[in-house]
Amino acid sequence: MDSFLGINPVALFGQLLVGLINGSFYALLSLGLAIIFGLLRIINFAQGALYMVGAFFAWLGLQHLGINYWLALIVVPVSVGFIGILIERILIRPISNEDHLYGLLLTYGVALVLQGIFTHLFGSSGLPYSIPETLQGGANLGFMYLPTYRAWIIVISLLVCGSTWWVIEKTKLGAYLRAGTENSRILQGFGVNVPLMITLTFGFGVALAGFAGVLAAPIYSVSPDMGANILIVVFAIVVIGGMGSIGGAILTGLLMGIIEGLTKYFYPEASTTVIFLVMVLVLLFKPAGLFGKEL
Amino acid sequence: MMTQFFQSRLFLLAALVLALIIPWLVYPVLLMKILCFGLFAAAFNLLIGYAGMLSFGHAAFLSTGGYMTGYVMSEYGLTTELGILIGTAASALLGFVFGKLSVKREGIYFAMVTLALAQLVFFLYVQAPFTGGENGLQGIPRGKLFGVVDLSNNMVMYYFVLAVFLAGYWFIHRTIHSPFGHVLKAIRENEPRAISLGYNVRHYKLMVFIISATLSGLAGSTKALVFQLESLTDAHWHMSGEVVLMTLLGGMGTVFGPLVGASVIIGIQNLFSGGELGSYIHIIMGVIFIVCVLLFRNGIVGELNKVLKNNF
C-alpha cells in the first residue's frame, strides 16, 4: 500500500478501527450512566465493575454451564441487570433522599467489593475467551483487513445504542422516562409508579454495562480491573459530553474513541491521556460540556 | 459539657503527651504512616467537610509531593526542609491548575473532573522519566534537617513528622475558624445565598482547593521521606478512594475524624497485609464504604460527639 504524506493507510485505518471499537464501549457505558443519572441523579461508580462482571459471567457461562456466546448476549445482561436491581433496591433506595454524593460513594464501595471478589476468585491476570466460530475470520477491504468480530462489535453496539435512543426519545415509555427526569414527583402524581420505574431504569442501565462486558470478553482479556480502567475514561467522556442528552452520550463516546485511535497512530505516547486532555479543553472553553445545558 | 471535652485544653494536653510517649511503645514507622495519612485525610476533609466539595483526585497531590521531594532529595541531596518545601510547592501549583479547571463544575461533576485529572497525572507519572516508572523512586535519603539534625534514626524522624503533622493540623484549625472558613461553611450550606451576599464563590472554592492540595502535598512529601520510597501506588485512583474512606469513616467535618479514620484504616491494612487474607482487603474496604454510607454517615467521631451530647 502506498503511503500518502508519510501516512501509512493500513496502520491508520487499523487504529481508526480500534478507536471505533473502543468508542463503541465508551458509548454503551456512558449511555448506561446517562440513563441512570437522568432518573436517579447519581453517578453509578459500579458501572465499570458490572461491565467486568458481565465479561466474567460470559466466561463462566462458557466454561461451566455450556452457555455459548449468543446465549450469553441475552442471559448475561439480564443477570447483570438483576444484580443492578438488587443493588438499587437494597442499597441505593435507602439513601435516595440524602445528598447525591452519597450515591457515588456507595456505588464506589460496591465497585471495590465486586472487583475484590473477582480478584480473590480469579487472580488479576486475564482469562481468554475465544471468538465464536461464525464471527471468526475477516474481510480484506483493499485498504485494510477487517476482522469480522470487530465489525460485529461496532454494528451491534450502534444498533443497541440507536434503539435505546429511539425508545427514550420516540416512544411513550421513553416519554415517561423523560418526564421522570424532568420532575419525578409530578409524574408520580399522575399515577405512574415511579419507584418501579427507577428500579427498572437502573437495571437497564446496568444491563447495558453487562452487555458491553460480553462483547468485550473475546477481544480484551477478561480481568478484574478491566472495568475500573475504562470507567475513569468514561467519566471524562461524560464530562466532555455533558449529561444533557442521551444522543450526546452516544456520540461523544464514539467520537472520543476515534480521537483516541487517531492519537495512537500520530502520537502514541499521548494515547492514554488524550481523552483527559480533551476534557481539560472542554472545561476551559465550554464547561457545561458539548451537549450539556448551560449552568 | 462533654462535647467540649474534645476541644478542652486538658484533652489536647493529654493527646500531646500520648503522642510524645507512644513511639516508645509502638513501632514508630507505623505511627509516622498514620500521622502522614491523618494529615492527608485532614486536608481532604477541609474540602468535603467544610466546603462540601468531594474530590476524587487527591492521590495526585499526595504523589506529586512525594515524587518531587523524592527526586530533589535523591538528585541534589538537599536539606530535608528544602526537599519538603519543593514537594509541597509542586502540589500547590498542581492544586491551582486542578482547581481552576474543576471548581467550574459542582457536586458529582466536580468529583468526576478531579478523578479524571488525577488519572491524567497518573498516566503522566507512568511515562515520565523522573518517577522511575513501575519501580518508583527507591532509597530516597531523608537528609539533614536544617543541615544539622540527621533524620535517619526512626525515633528522631518520628518527632519531626509529629511536628509537621501538628503544624498542618494547626493550619487547618486556623483556616476553619477564620472569616474565610466561615464563608466556606456559608457556601456549603447555601451557595446561591452566598453568591447573592456578594461573595465570589469560585474564588473561595479555588482558594480552599489549593490549601487542601498543598497540605496533601506536605503529607506526601513527608511520607516519601518516612518510607524513603515513592511509587505509583500513591498516584493510583485507589489512593484517592482511600482518603475518602478514611475521612468518611472517621467523620466528615470533624476535627479529629480524619486522624481516627486514618488510624483505623491503616490498622486494618496492617492486619491483613502479608497474610493469606491480603486479597480480602479491597472487599473489606468496599464493605466499610457501604456500611458507612448506609448506617454511619457521621463517622466514628461524629457519632461519638452525638452520644456525648445526648448523655452528658
pLDDT digits (tens, 9 = 90+) for A217-269: 888 888 888 888 898 889 888 888 877 678 888 888 889 898 988 888 888 87
Q: How far is A278 from chain B (nearest CA, A)?
A: 11
Q: Nearest to residue B43, comparing CAs of B207, B160, B211?
A: B211
Whether A286 is covered by a domain: the verdict is no
Q: Would you say A84 and A203 are in contact if contact means Cβ atoms under 8 Å apart?
A: yes
Between residues A162 and B19, the one the model is more confident about: A162
Over range B4-30, report the average pLDDT: 77
**CB–CB contact A110 B286 (8 Å):** yes
Whether A145 is covered by a domain: the verdict is yes
Digit-coded pLDDT (tens) for B152-197 = 788 888 999 999 999 999 999 899 889 988 898 888 888 889 888 8
Digit-coded pLDDT (tens) for B65-89 = 999 999 998 888 788 888 899 999 9
Whether A128 is covered by a domain: the verdict is yes
Q: Above 90 in pLDDT, residue B18?
A: no
Whether A2 is covered by a domain: the verdict is no
What per-residue confidence (pLDDT) applies to B260? 92
Whether A241 is covered by a domain: the verdict is no
CB contacts of A104 in chain B (<8 Å) are 54, 108, 111
What per-residue confidence (pLDDT) applies to A56? 92
CB contacts of A43 in chain B (<8 Å) are 108, 111-112
Confidence of residue A1 (pLDDT cuts 50, 70, 90): very low
Q: Above 70 in pLDDT, residue B2?
A: no
Q: Nearest to residue B68, comparing CAs of B215, B233, B171, B222?
A: B222
The angle subtended at Cα A167 by Cα A165 and Cα A168, nearest 5°, is 65
What ipTM was predicted for this assembly? Answer: 0.85
Whether A242 is covered by a domain: the verdict is no
For residue B199, give every residue at least 6 positions away whose Cβ sits within 8 Å of its Cβ, in sequence order, or none: B183, B186, B187
Confidence of residue B276 (pLDDT cuts 50, 70, 90): low
Question: Half-sphere exposure (CA, 13 Å, Cβ side) for B303?
Answer: 12
Over range A192-208, report the average pLDDT: 88
Q: Above 90 in pLDDT, residue B277?
A: no
Query: Based on the structure, what is the number of domains in chain A?
Result: 1
The domain in which residue A70 lies consists of 30-225
Digit-coded pLDDT (tens) for A83-116 = 999 999 998 888 888 888 888 889 999 999 998 8
What per-residue confidence (pLDDT) applies to B1? 46
For residue A276, give every residue at least 6 positions away whose Cβ sits within 8 Å of its Cβ, in sequence order, or none: A233, A236, B116, B117, B119, B120, B123
Q: How many CB pairs under 8 A join A and B?
A: 119
Over range A269-288, report the average pLDDT: 83
**CB–CB contact A98 B124 (8 Å):** no
Residue among B287, B294, B296 with most chain A CBs within 10 A, to mutate: B294
Which H or E element spans position B90? helix B80-102
Q: Nearest to residue B289, comparing CAs of B279, B274, B299?
A: B299
Which H or E element spans position B207? helix B201-227
Confidence of residue A159 (pLDDT cuts 50, 70, 90): very high
Q: Count other C-beta atoms under 10 Å from residue B179's C-beta.
A: 7
